[in-house]
Structure 1
Amino acid sequence: MFGMGKKKKAEQSAAELALEETKAPSPDAESTLTAEENIVDEHPAFDRSNGPWDSSEKKASDDSYIDLGGLLIKSHPGLNLRLEADQKTQQVIAVTLQLGKGHLQVQAFAAPKSAGIWDDIRHELSESVRNQGGQVEINDGPLGRQLISRVPAQTADGRKGFRIARFVGVDGPRWFVRGVFSGAAVLPGESAEALEEVFRSIIVHRGFDPMAPRDLLPMRVPQSIQDAAEAQKAAQSQQGEKTPAGLEIPRRGPEITEIG
């Protein structure tokens, strides 16, 4: 299923984050973070042998992958996709993937040839979360070094709580791909494992055009979806047919929450 959303700041966009009731912060986690930020990261680079891949390393078949331009997403049973668009330019800037109650937003950026950028971005995210009065924990997860943020927020019934998200990042050849897990996929479990497998199956198409580091890789609405939407509109106008189950015409949706 496809949908369209909107976003003001491409590089700072993040998936809509889950709310939970306020819990006491962990002093150990906070002190660990402070110590880490004062030293140079010495953790090993993430092993990409099982993905995400560069388009030069793995070819996507037309049947199993959805081509979004800079990102190619493998189809999985029950996987829903929502494309997020910049509200001014209407350019696609991110894709949010949903499996059950878990969500994963993915964006791909250009990166320098010489070094990755996840370490720098992770530390910048840490500072941004703290500036919002939030808490951050950095540790090693299934997708390498990850950042878990807890930002103060208000629940739907007016109680104080946190917006929780898990940020992961993988550096590739001249690109960087970032994932933001939310909902049931924040913590370890079946939802997290399923969306982590989706993240690993991603293929990034950097292209050969010169791009400044951190520029978003161009994304687009898949041609097959555009064709289906146009045919569907024509059928509805002529025969008054309802939208078939499982296909949502791309459209603008609610703004997604910013981090930063």
Structure 2
Amino acid sequence: MIFSRNRGSGRHAKGDSRPRAEADLDLTEDDEVEEASAGGKSVRTGGPYDITEAPAGIAQLDLGALKVPAVEDVEVRVQADNEGKIQQIVLVSGESALQLGVFAAPRSEGIWDEVRAEIRKQLFNDGVAAEEAEGDYGTELRARVRTPDGLTDIRFVGVDGPRWLVRAVYQGAAAVDPSVAPALTECLRNLVVDRGNEAMPVREPLPLHLPKEVAEASADPEEQADGEPVNGDGAARRKPSPRPRRK
């Protein structure tokens, strides 16, 4: 795993290299608060799974509300603050990347249709045409956006679960053809969400944090200078990016 500390603050902090529409998207405007409940399980043939439904025996990286499966040839990159709270999770495989986010949702209904419409409107306001298409998880949103590296294809996937929404954003080759990055598909299908029982505002990001041993290593000044990205053994590495790596 590779992670870096976030030196800036706010949605437009230096080092946020996401496409503009993705960086500007605000999913926490709704102030409606839901009641905590232990009921309402959903039935799935594949993940993302709620923690109450997750199959046993899958090796995982525990990042708090998300348990990311350990899949060969997939690099996990996270960006966290000095307290170990994660702002960004990106999985990279070859020339493709998958950015993951998880948010609180009502118990009574899913919110992906509403969120997808807002993403499409934001893209339109930024001068980007987006189109809907059917995928493995229902209706997706596909677009081509301009990044510092040039035009990049992106594909938004939403998965409504019991009191949560997983938003997955594919970038690069897998945004056009999912078959080119089967390892990323496997990661999403084996992802586990630990929603918890606390009442939270709808669309508020669920808490994500570094594993304890990694957070402690990054906080040790002898292990890492402030702001330097490191991997799990404390070795300095470059900062994560949601863009696919260039070969």
**CA spacing shift, 1:215–1:188, aligned 2, 3 Å:** same
**CA spacing shift, 1:166–1:245, aligned 2, 3 Å:** closer
> Counterpart in 2 of 1:66?
61
> Counterpart in 2 of 1:164?
153
Q: Give the C-alpha shift of residue 140 in structure 1.
A: 0.6
> Counterpart in 2 of 1:197?
186
Q: Could you tell me how far apart the structure 1 residues matched to 2:87 and 2:218 are? A: 20
Assess if the C-alpha contact under 8 Å between 1:81 and 1:95 holds in 2. Answer: yes
Please show how residues 13-162 of structure 1 align to structure 2 within 5 Å.
16=18, 48-58=44-54, 64-85=59-80, 91-151=85-145, 153=146, 156=149, 162=151
> Counterpart in 1 of 2:175?
186
Assess if the C-alpha contact under 8 Å between 1:126 and 1:136 holds in 2. Answer: yes
Q: Could you tell me how far apart the structure 1 residues matched to 2:181 and 2:242 are? A: 20
User: Which amino acid is 2:76 matched to?
Assistant: L
Q: Give the C-alpha shift of residue 183 in structure 1.
A: 1.6
TM-score (norm 1): 0.69
**CA spacing shift, 1:154–1:68, aligned 2, 3 Å:** closer
User: Which amino acid is 2:163 matched to?
Assistant: R
Post-superposition Cα deviations, 1:99-143, rounded to whole Å, max 9, x if no partner, equal 121100001000001111100010001111111111111011123
Q: Give the C-alpha shift of residue 215 in structure 1.
A: 0.5
Assess if the C-alpha contact under 8 Å between 1:3 and 1:248 holds in 2. Answer: no
Q: Could you tell me how far apart the structure 2 residues matched to 1:126 and 1:50 are? A: 27
Assess if the C-alpha contact under 8 Å between 1:2 and 1:250 holds in 2. Answer: no
Assess if the C-alpha contact under 8 Å between 2:152 and 2:172 holds in 1. Answer: no
Assess if the C-alpha contact under 8 Å between 1:5 and 1:251 holds in 2. Answer: no
CA RMSD of aligned residues (A): 3.7
| 5+ long unaligned stretches in structure 2 | 20-41, 225-229
Bigger Cα displacement from structure 2, 217-226 vs 200-209: 217-226
**CA spacing shift, 1:106–1:155, aligned 2, 3 Å:** closer
**CA spacing shift, 1:135–1:86, aligned 2, 3 Å:** farther
Q: Give the C-alpha shift of residue 194 in structure 1.
A: 2.3
User: Which amino acid is 1:50 matched to?
Assistant: G
SS in structure 2 opposite 1:122?
A: helix
Assess if the C-alpha contact under 8 Å between 1:15 and 1:105 holds in 2. Answer: no
Assess if the C-alpha contact under 8 Å between 2:102 and 2:205 holds in 1. Answer: yes
> Counterpart in 1 of 2:2?
2
> Counterpart in 2 of 1:25?
none
SS in structure 2 opposite 1:179?
A: strand
**In percent, how many aligned pairs have the same letter?**
35
Larger radius of gyration: 1
Q: Could you tell me how far apart the structure 1 residues matched to 2:213 and 2:84 are? A: 19
Assess if the C-alpha contact under 8 Å between 2:2 and 2:231 holds in 1. Answer: no
Post-superposition Cα deviations, 1:132-159, rounded to whole Å, max 9, x if no partner, equal 11111101112321100223x3765xxx
Q: Could you tell me how far apart the structure 2 residues matched to 1:200 and 1:84 are? A: 23
TM-score (norm 2): 0.72
User: Which amino acid is 2:194 matched to?
Assistant: H
Q: Give the C-alpha shift of residue 163 in structure 1.
A: 3.2
Assess if the C-alpha contact under 8 Å between 1:92 and 1:220 holds in 2. Answer: yes
Assess if the C-alpha contact under 8 Å between 2:102 and 2:165 holds in 1. Answer: yes
| 5+ long unaligned stretches in structure 1 | 18-45, 237-243
Q: Could you tell me how far apart the structure 2 residues matched to 1:190 and 1:245 are? A: 29
